[in-house]
Structure 1
Amino acid sequence: MSSLFSKLGLKKSEAAEVPVDGKDDRYETSSIESAEKQTGVQKVEAIALTWSKTSLWVAYAGILLMATSTSLESQTTYLYSSYALSGFGFHSLLSTVSIVTGVMYAVVKPPMGKIADVFGRFEAFVLAILFFVIGYIMLASSNSVETYAGAQVFYAAGATGLIILQQVFVADTTDLLNRALFSSIPDLPFLWTVWAGPEVGAAVLKGSTWRWGYGMWAIILPACSLPLLGALFMNTLKAKKKGLLPPSKVKEYGIVKFLGKTFWDLDVIGLLLFTAALCLLLIPLTLGAGAVGKWKNPSLIAMMVVGGVCLIIFPFFEMNKKLAPSPLLSLRLLKNRTVLAGTLIAVFYFMAFYQSVFPYFYSYLVVANDQSVVSAGRIVLTFSFTSTVSSIIISFFIKWSGHYKYFVCTGGLIYILGFGLMLRYRVEGSTRTQIVINQVLVGLGGGFLNVPAQLGVQSVVPHQDVAAATALFLTAISVGQAIGSAISGAIWTNNLLPKLNQYLPEDVKANATLIYSDFTHASSYPIGSDARNAINRSYQETMRLLLIGALVSAVPIVFLTFFMENVDLKAREQQNTKGRIFGSSSSDADERIAQEESHVVEKRQSDAGLKA
């Protein structure tokens, strides 16, 4: 860690150059009006004034430890889903579960960002960890696909909460010039867990069951989160002792009025509309495809109609200041072309990814390419390793050049090229090396796209809107995941079973539904047999359709990259952040922090006097 960032110092924002109202001419190009700072933002800025170099490094060490836990967890548990659902007899519902997870990833990010803004970063981290633990306890004890899917809701809420909160914490404690580099810290563990994950997953499956594979993370993650939570908690106490924290809203409003205000601050109605729109539109795509007469089912038709209505109502509700005084998604941010282009890139990026790599690539490798559990796992995770390495390297180039747009444009072209080669080489009979090279190329494009695009979205908003902009970008990723999963599920469900019925030998056709529902049964037929050849052909033709969909989804990315503003990060590096942050100089940090601290204390005393 220290070698990675040895040339980086610590510095404090130049608050003296920023007017008291929080507006800054450096952000006039964003066409975004900054809202009044919420309690959570005021708290994190107060805590930032109490950071020491040591405590800030401890917090980042905690981020890395927590990320190592969640990274290894994600590298192992995705292996278990195929076995768990096959055990329930519902392997084909992998995409449906992925949609549920993706929808939760989408709908939880904005409220988790708002919780961090309304209550504070520490409180939001604790809530996310609690959801994570509940989710894994439920997954480990599930006895039906319904319980398993319900557990994914809690797991996704916790996991995605940690993702966004880590990025918000990075945005709170870095300047723009170094943010891409520090944003890569949560991804660093992929460099080693990508190889250890399949081994750990295979060892768990061999020595125990997928249930313990899920349940052990309910113990490991809370233990790994202690350094970060401890650092945040101790500095919160420091800020309170110095009188820097904003007054308690419960005491100010009273419990009843506070709960009412929190209801509107968290935009609960907007959250319900957004959740209903995504769930009721996307889930029927996988449930209704592939079965004769299913689309005549009035329940599925009703789900899509209600989902469509909710989707239409949602933006109008969010843009109405009376109905949504504190909207779930800050859609006003989309008035800026960089934010709009960046969020659309995130949508199409993950739409393509979830048609080509998840959720069926692992099953395809085991069945059609006869790969072992460990080998298939490593091939799938090659993307994560490559994208992590490339994003770290690109972060150094961004710091050196002060620009991110060049890398986003290059990434879009590489991403498209990777999918084109997938169509050529992800076929039955291709060597493992050919398949891995395709994964490396797509991962390289992903590394060029993801972190720089997120930085671009963050770079055109003031500090008050950083959490909202980050939530918007990460929500777009999850929407892309959900849409991609829905498309892949529809393609898989609508094609694999009919092809099996068409190609299987007559004496095996009675098992077509079982082969379709359980990939472990599909891989049990001997290589070279007529049945296995028919299964492999069905898998291959279905995979080709998925890859065509992925390529089509990735094409808009190339055009969208050109609409992002070529921001000079060196000119905007401060972004109104307060307190001690990671940057390029620390020579005058202590003196400036003292000035900021004095200003905050005076403001708190003045506000208290006015209320008295």
Structure 2
Amino acid sequence: MAPETVDHKEKVDIDVEDVDKGAVPADTNSVTKPAGLADLDGIQRSWSLRTLVVIWTFALLLSFSTNLNNQTSASFTSYATSDFASASLLGTITVVQAVASSVALQPLARLADVYGRFEMFLFSVMLITIGEIMTASSKTVSVYAGAQVFWAFGYIGISLMLQILAGDSSDMYNRAIFSAIPLAPSIITCWIAGPVAAGILKSTWRWGFGMFAVMIPALSLPLLMSLYINKRKGTQLRKAEGTYVPVNHVQNFLQLDPLGLLLLAAGLSLLLIPISLASSNTSTWKEGHTIAELVVGGVCLLALPLWETKFARWPVFPKTIFNNRTVVFGLLAMVVNYAGLYLLQSYLLYYEMVAADLSVNAATNLYMLIPFGGSLGQFLSGFVVKYLKRYKWVVVSGYAMIVLGMGLSYKYIDAHGHMAPLVVAQLIAGLGAGVIATTQFGIQASVSQAGECLKALLSNNPVPEE
């Protein structure tokens, strides 16, 4: 039986006291439903249990491979830049990659809504494969840096599509569980990434990227084939019903809201890159290009809400979404969660190696406790939400756990004689971070399919990883 599209009644029944009773209407500012969402209606009706088993089996394998790729790549980057005699550029490459990952979120999610799930999955796999091939074969640091941008876009695209797939293939009662499934492989990969990287480095760092250039496309092929077959079935079903509309490429392009995406991407890039790079060299703040980038970036971000609310026909951020208190407070909750975790975790690995005299392996294992606990906490909280059919107090309990975990971590941060309490504290904080990720469930219950872009942004991994 194909999963049913969640209707308004189901959203309200899930948690009457927490979800606004007026779900955000679909496409209030548009005349025509985005082609990707129109295709999705037919795809969902053509799904069978066997199809979903195949899709999710290979989705988990793909998630396992991309997680392992992400967690091992940091180990290879320093060796690569050393080979190019450009170790000083390591920080710059890391910053550019991080900014590219942040900027890619909204455009890629928007592409999935407008052009379709299969198309976006295929595009993301192509990007990450190109990035891996370029990285493995790079002869100069400039080629290596450019490859990292391709890789970042592809990795973020696959991560987003797995989260969107979780939403598409589940009803609201099971949404919290399905959203945690793509994160499940990181429970394993966070512990094997170190030994795998060490084994590969005995040969050459290039194999660390080259093997994923083969592994990721191979594992994604069955998943892509299943999505394509069901897309064809859905199209045939809609043609038989007389609801099929031929693709209008001009309209699809306009539905992307290209100016809105450009303002968003330019604003974030021109602000985040100079701020990140200038933080390590205070004299950079006085340079003309830094000032110009900050001014232009700020103007772009200020112009974005004006364009979105006054002129955009298909806005990236429909204002009706931000009139919903569940969405607004959910966003604030996630921001607080990110800020708290990164303030603690950014220096934990290096602090424990220096102040507590831990080995690299021991410090890395300690650092990995929060990603491990986060994946486990989100998965377990999904079951709690499913059976309690309430999520507010689940999220509140997550904040209680993370406050307790972070407080104990600061208390026992000097691991001399306090290793066991510090390990427990990190596990508690990680579990709390995973539970807090259930916030996305309440947001998804408050928006329609037209809010898939926002859902995807909030479904990203809520805990830091190496």
Alignment TM-score, normalising by the size of structure 1: 0.67
Report deviation, 1:27: 8.6
What does residue 341 of structure 2 align with? 353
What does residue 452 of structure 2 align with? 467
What does residue 233 of structure 1 align with? 228
Of 361, 365, 381, the residue aligned with 1:374 is: 361
Q: Are 2:296 and 1:296 aligned?
A: no
Secondary structure (helix, strand or coil) at the match of 1:230 reads: helix
Of 149, 158, 165, the residue aligned with 1:162 is: 158
Is this contact kept in 2: 1:41–1:120, CA < 8 A?
yes
Q: Which amino acid aligns with 1:110?
A: Q
Is this contact kept in 2: 1:276–1:307, CA < 8 A?
yes
CA distance in structure 2 between the aligned counterparts of 1:88 and 1:225, rounded to whole angstroms: 32
Q: Are 2:446 and 1:454 aligned?
A: no
Report the CA distance shift for 1:135/1:350 in structure 2 as closer, same or farther (over 3 A).
farther
Q: Are 2:245 and 1:247 aligned?
A: yes
Secondary structure (helix, strand or coil) at the match of 1:29 reads: coil
Question: Once the two structures are superposed, what CA deviation does each residue of 1:264-302 show, in whole Å capped at 9, x if it has no partner?
Answer: 222222222212211221222232234353322112111
Of 393, 401, 420, the residue aligned with 2:407 is: 420
Report the CA distance shift for 1:362/1:216 in structure 2 as closer, same or farther (over 3 A).
farther
CA distance in structure 2 between the aligned counterparts of 1:349 and 1:16, rounded to whole angstroms: 29
Report deviation, 1:457: 0.8
| 1:330-409 equivalence runs, <5 A | 330-358=318-346, 360-409=347-396
Report the CA distance shift for 1:304/1:77 in structure 2 as closer, same or farther (over 3 A).
same
Is this contact kept in 2: 1:39–1:246, CA < 8 A?
no
Higher RCO by CA contacts (8 Å cutoff, separation 6 or greater): 1
Is this contact kept in 2: 1:75–1:381, CA < 8 A?
no
Report the CA distance shift for 1:95/1:338 in structure 2 as closer, same or farther (over 3 A).
farther
Secondary structure (helix, strand or coil) at the match of 1:12 reads: coil
Of 119, 127, 130, the residue aligned with 2:126 is: 130
Q: Which amino acid aligns with 1:181?
A: I
Is this contact kept in 1: 2:163–2:456, CA < 8 A?
no
Is this contact kept in 2: 1:118–1:265, CA < 8 A?
yes
CA distance in structure 1 between the aligned counterparts of 2:282 and 2:39, rounded to whole angstroms: 57
Report deviation, 1:213: 0.9
Is this contact kept in 1: 2:3–2:169, CA < 8 A?
no
Q: Are 2:187 and 1:191 aligned?
A: yes
CA distance in structure 2 between the aligned counterparts of 1:181 and 1:139, rounded to whole angstroms: 35
CA RMSD of aligned residues (A): 3.0
CA distance in structure 2 between the aligned counterparts of 1:95 and 1:335, rounded to whole angstroms: 39
Report the CA distance shift for 1:428/1:192 in structure 2 as closer, same or farther (over 3 A).
closer
Secondary structure (helix, strand or coil) at the match of 1:212 reads: helix
Report deviation, 1:144: 5.1
| 1:601-612 equivalence runs, <5 A | none
Is this contact kept in 1: 2:2–2:47, CA < 8 A?
no
Report the CA distance shift for 1:186/1:165 in structure 2 as closer, same or farther (over 3 A).
same
Q: Where in structure 2 are there 5+ consecutive unaligned residues?
A: 11-17
Report the CA distance shift for 1:17/1:381 in structure 2 as closer, same or farther (over 3 A).
closer
Secondary structure (helix, strand or coil) at the match of 2:425 reads: helix
Of 4, 14, 34, the residue aligned with 2:26 is: 34
Is this contact kept in 1: 2:19–2:326, CA < 8 A?
no
Report the CA distance shift for 1:274/1:90 in structure 2 as closer, same or farther (over 3 A).
farther
Secondary structure (helix, strand or coil) at the match of 1:326 reads: coil
Report deviation, 1:88: 5.7
Report the CA distance shift for 1:290/1:107 in structure 2 as closer, same or farther (over 3 A).
closer
Report deviation, 1:59: 1.1
CA distance in structure 1 between the aligned counterparts of 2:167 and 2:303, rounded to whole angstroms: 32
| 1:431-442 equivalence runs, <5 A | 432-442=419-429
Report deviation, 1:406: 0.8
Q: Where in structure 1 are there 5+ consecutive unaligned residues?
A: 1-8, 19-25, 251-257, 486-612
Q: Are 2:55 and 1:44 aligned?
A: no
Report deviation, 1:369: 4.3
Q: Which amino acid aligns with 1:404?
A: Y
CA distance in structure 1 between the aligned counterparts of 2:203 and 2:64, rounded to whole angstroms: 23
Secondary structure (helix, strand or coil) at the match of 2:314 reads: coil
CA distance in structure 2 between the aligned counterparts of 1:194 and 1:318, rounded to whole angstroms: 40
Q: Which amino acid aligns with 1:306?
A: V
Is this contact kept in 2: 1:27–1:461, CA < 8 A?
no
Question: Once the two structures are superposed, what CA deviation does each residue of 1:216-241 show, in whole Å capped at 9, x if it has no partner?
Answer: 11111111112221211222232334
CA distance in structure 2 between the aligned counterparts of 1:102 and 1:221, rounded to whole angstroms: 21
CA distance in structure 2 between the aligned counterparts of 1:14 and 1:467, rounded to whole angstroms: 13
CA distance in structure 1 between the aligned counterparts of 2:79 and 2:405, rounded to whole angstroms: 29
CA distance in structure 2 between the aligned counterparts of 1:373 and 1:367, rounded to whole angstroms: 10
Q: Are 2:182 and 1:172 aligned?
A: no
Q: Which amino acid aligns with 1:337?
A: R
Question: Once the two structures are superposed, what CA deviation does each residue of 1:556-607 show, in whole Å capped at 9, x if it has no partner?
Answer: xxxxxxxxxxxxxxxxxxxxxxxxxxxxxxxxxxxxxxxxxxxxxxxxxxxx
Is this contact kept in 2: 1:318–1:329, CA < 8 A?
yes
Q: Which amino acid aligns with 2:244?
A: P
CA distance in structure 2 between the aligned counterparts of 1:31 and 1:12, rounded to whole angstroms: 18
CA distance in structure 1 between the aligned counterparts of 2:263 and 2:8, rounded to whole angstroms: 42
Secondary structure (helix, strand or coil) at the match of 1:176 reads: coil
CA distance in structure 2 between the aligned counterparts of 1:274 and 1:457, rounded to whole angstroms: 22
Q: Which amino acid aligns with 1:269?
A: L
Q: Which amino acid aligns with 2:298?
A: G
CA distance in structure 2 between the aligned counterparts of 1:27 and 1:342, rounded to whole angstroms: 11
Q: Which amino acid aligns with 2:314?
A: S
CA distance in structure 1 between the aligned counterparts of 2:234 and 2:72, rounded to whole angstroms: 40
What does residue 217 of structure 1 align with? 212
Q: Which amino acid aligns with 1:453?
A: T
What does residue 545 of structure 1 align with? none
What does residue 15 of structure 2 align with? none
Report deviation, 1:470: 0.8
Q: Which amino acid aligns with 2:292?
A: A
CA distance in structure 1 between the aligned counterparts of 2:401 and 2:19, rounded to whole angstroms: 31
Report the CA distance shift for 1:220/1:362 in structure 2 as closer, same or farther (over 3 A).
farther
